Structures are given as structure tokens and as C-alpha cells.
Amino acid sequence: MRAFRFESTWDLAAPLADVQAVLVDLEHYPDWWPQVLAVAKIDDETARVLCRSTLPYTLDLVLGAVHREPALLETTISGDLSGEVRWRLSAVPGGTRLDYDQEVDVTGRLTRLAARPLGPVLRWNHERMMRGCRDGLALRLSG
């Protein structure tokens, strides 16, 4: 397996409670995050998510809620990736700061791609996906 860690920090011009409410509403991610193609609720804590960034590959993921606190949202990931994602939220002047941290191992069919020297391409693809998240989230919160 190939391990990846992704981190980013964004400031959004919206109250923490509003940001948290949008982020925990996983079923509506396709409404504002262009790279999230579909979400199917499995139970109150788990959902199947299909997402696709710029590369011609759709990730099939199962996300499981670990924490849904106002300042910490954490999920496990299984499927094409295995690991965890954390969103740390903090109030800042003018809005909310989001600290994003994802640690995953590539599994399934992607393992062969990640084993080759395609790490920079996969990182670029992830950056594009997260840019869609940041921009879509900001737009959703401004409306």
C-alpha cells in the first residue's frame, strides 16, 4: 500500500455552527461539492460516497462517523482508500478556520497506480478536489 497525508487550512466567512452543519450533512455534498458524484446513506453513522476529481477514476468510499462535535469532525474511510479524515473547526474574527487532515493508504485498483511514481499526480488530483470543496463550501455558506 502507498500512504498519503493531505493537510490544508482555510478561513471561511461564516459562523462555526453554519460550517459544521454543512459538513455533517454528508447526503447533500453533491449539491455544493462538484467532485462528489453521489452519496448513499447506509445508516446514521455510515455512507457510501462516489467522488471523482480531474483524473478519469471514480473513488468508491465508505465513510464512517467517529466524532461530530462542533470543533471536531472525524470519519474513517474504507474502500479505494483506507484511513481517516479530520476537520478541526475554530472561530476566528470574521468567520471560521477549517484545518483539514487526511491520512490514507491507497487500496484496491489504485494500488498499482500509487506504487508507480504517480504520487505527484495523485496529490495534484487531490488538490483539485479540495479546491472544489473549498470553493463550493464558501459558495454554499454565502447563500
pLDDT at 115 over 60: no
- Reported in sequence order, the residue ranges of 2-142 that DSSP labels E, i.e. its strands, are 2-12, 36-43, 46-51, 59-69, 72-79, 81-92, 95-106
First vs last C-alpha separation in the chain: 41
Grid-cell match 462535535, residue found = 69
What mean pLDDT value characterizes the chain?
Answer: 93
pLDDT at 94 over 70: yes
pLDDT at 3 over 80: yes
* Angle, CA 11 vertex, CA 7 and CA 15 arms, to 5°: 125
